[in-house]
Chain A
């Protein structure tokens, strides 16, 4: 019991990072139906942008903004320049998966070629630690949780109460019908990539804020838990992803404490495989529509 409560604390921090990344992933997949396996590598690229900002001596807050902005711009460009042209040319699901893996490999190894294959860490003051109900957090971890909660609230308000959110949900459900009803789906898709990219970039920076050191593969290693979160919540369902993040974040940290740290990721894998076999539509979703890629 003594080790379990702090483990839940770590789990909440991991869940916060997973929630930001997972909601971004699921939003983009839901709206565009492109399984973007380069997502983890874009996270790493954004983390490196954050690294450049902090090593220039600017505050960590600006690094977060810069990472999010980079993620958004990079994702929109990636979709405009690579993914959409491939889809328009007739590349279907299999082909698109290979295209996204190729892009991921290029980004990841491009980062390695530019920065070198060593360890990096963000420059910042040593955080103080705070005790809350038997759990120990650093101030940075508390900030991460705060950022995640704020981001989730914003996403909730955006999807529920704005016209854009409605258009996004409409496009995710049926792009053709949405287009026929006067939704400018092209613009909605661009905005979905921007929003998902911003969350991706934000997640990349808070991911490396929470670890002592990162490399060019840090984001790619985080991709499977992200996919697990998205699938557990039902792909395309942001609220499901939030719930999935909480489950997987806490379960993997508790497993790391109870069994062995090397099995931390295996928990996410096992949950993912079980969900895919037992309930491929996810825990919250009612339907699993077989859609084509939306261009």
Chain B
């Protein structure tokens, strides 16, 4: 395999890993717990900024040749920035969810999330001192690069390995969560909030926990991405990006971790990468526009024909409890 192809394939694999982690996070919120988080990309962005700042080191003032300004800044060794990004994603989710998920009915919740996404972009762009405004952060040092001393292509594959390792850990986490009694309670809240509450489930607490877990995964996915591409700016996380993840979750099979993984492979990776191989035609921006049209159409087609996705969520059946002896079974009446 030529070096160029190896570079390309390893890059796509890292993107795939990032998208899969993000989709698992969104699936916990949307697929399992039924929360409509249209600000999902904000939590990914928060993780990415955190990881970038904690890898870049303290900001250099412009007077001494620094070209970007941001708050915080530290030189943390490799896995720490990613873990910190997960932590920040989770804390931010606890803060936003604590206000929005606790208090609002679902359609208003969706609206507030959309607004949160726009406010976050506006603040990150206009408060230049926070994370370098519209130019964003760049030249984030690659993790372990100075220690392992690999050739550029070898490093690419090392990063694929790191991403795969993180994916395995995250999969284990989401699998444990969704197959545990906690996951069952979340699905109960999603399917029938009143019934779950009547059975003594803490509806708000369960939702909030799912929201925070999703935020943690979003943060981690952003951190892995920024450590790989070394740059992050407000242009990377405009609110339509959230819609791509929603489409991926719906296409793959909302509520099913494996399905969502397939969705991440199909939508953000296959659909958005495949256009690289189409020869450029028309005025600049035409292919981008067509790409978005296709993603929108894909969401519509799947919601119409396969609303449960490529790999639907398994229908869970429980054995009917044996009827009590003393009580006679109610007479069965034929339907008129």
Contact = CB atoms under 8 A, between A and B. Distances in A.
Interface of A: 35, 37, 82, 85-86, 89, 91, 93-95, 97-99, 101-106, 108-110, 112-113, 116-117, 224, 227, 231, 260, 262-263, 265-266, 269-270, 272-273, 276-277, 280, 288, 290
Given A112-B285, A224-B118, A263-B126, A35 B111 contact: yes
Nearest to B99: A277
Contacts, number: 121
Given A106-B297, A269-B119, A290-B105, A113 B304 contact: no
B289 A262 contact: no
A99 to B, nearest CB: 6
A104 B299 CA distance: 12
Interface of B: 30, 34, 36, 99, 103-108, 110-112, 114-116, 118-119, 122, 125-126, 240, 243, 246-247, 250, 282-286, 288-290, 292-293, 295-297, 299-300, 303-304, 307
A106 B114 CA distance: 18
B290 A273 contact: no
Contacts of A290: 105
28 contacts: A35-B110, A35-B111, A37-B114, A85-B304, A91-B303, A91-B307, A95-B303, A95-B307, A97-B36, A99-B300, A101-B243, A102-B296, A102-B300, A105-B240, A105-B295, A106-B292, A109-B292, A109-B296, A112-B286, A113-B290, A224-B115, A262-B122, A269-B115, A269-B119, A273-B115, A276-B108, A277-B99, A280-B108
Given A116-B285, A224-B115, A269-B118, A97 B296 contact: no
Contact of A82 (B116, B246, B300): B300
A265 to B, nearest CB: 7
Nearest to A280: B108
Q: State the majority secondary structure of interface residues on A.
A: helix
Given A112-B285, A117-B289, A224-B118, A102 B112 contact: no
B126 A98 contact: no
Contacts of B103: 277
Contacts of A260: 126
A112 B289 CA distance: 6
Given A117-B284, A231-B111, A272-B115, 7 more contacts: A94-B106, A95-B307, A99-B299, A102-B300, A103-B296, A117-B289, A273-B119
6 cross-chain pairs, A with B, having the tightest CB-CB distances, nearest first = A117-B285, A105-B296, A102-B296, A109-B289, A112-B289, A109-B292
Contact of A110 (B114, B243, B250, B293): B293
B296 A106 contact: yes
A96 to B, nearest CB: 9
B293 A109 contact: yes
A105 B243 contact: yes
A248 B290 CA distance: 35
B95 to A, nearest CB: 13
Contacts of B118: 224, 265, 269
Contact of A103 (B116, B286, B300): B300
Contact of B299 (A98, A109, A113, A272): A98
Nearest to A108: B292
B49 to A, nearest CB: 19
A89 B304 contact: yes
B292 A105 contact: yes
A94 B34 contact: yes
Contacts of B289: 109-110, 112-113, 117
Nearest to B300: A102
B293 A113 contact: yes
Most chain A CB atoms below 10 A, which of B105, B107, B240, B292: B107
A94 B110 contact: yes
A269 B114 CA distance: 10
Nearest to A112: B289
B307 A35 contact: no
Contacts of A108: 292
Contact of A266 (B119, B247, B250): B119
Contacts of B126: 260, 262-263
Contact of A105 (B119, B285, B293, B303): B293
B307 A109 contact: no
Most chain B CB atoms below 10 A, which of A94, A98, A266, A277: A98
A98 B246 contact: yes
Contacts of A86: 303-304
A235 to B, nearest CB: 9
A86 B299 CA distance: 12
Contact of B106 (A93, A224, A265, A277): A93
Nearest to A114: B289
Contacts of B288: 109, 112
Nearest to A266: B122
A99 B246 CA distance: 11
A98 B242 CA distance: 11
A98 B295 contact: no
B290 A227 contact: no
B38 to A, nearest CB: 8
A273 B303 contact: no
Contact of A280 (B105, B125, B295): B105
A288 B105 CA distance: 10
Given A93-B107, A276-B104, A224 B114 contact: yes
A265 B118 CA distance: 9
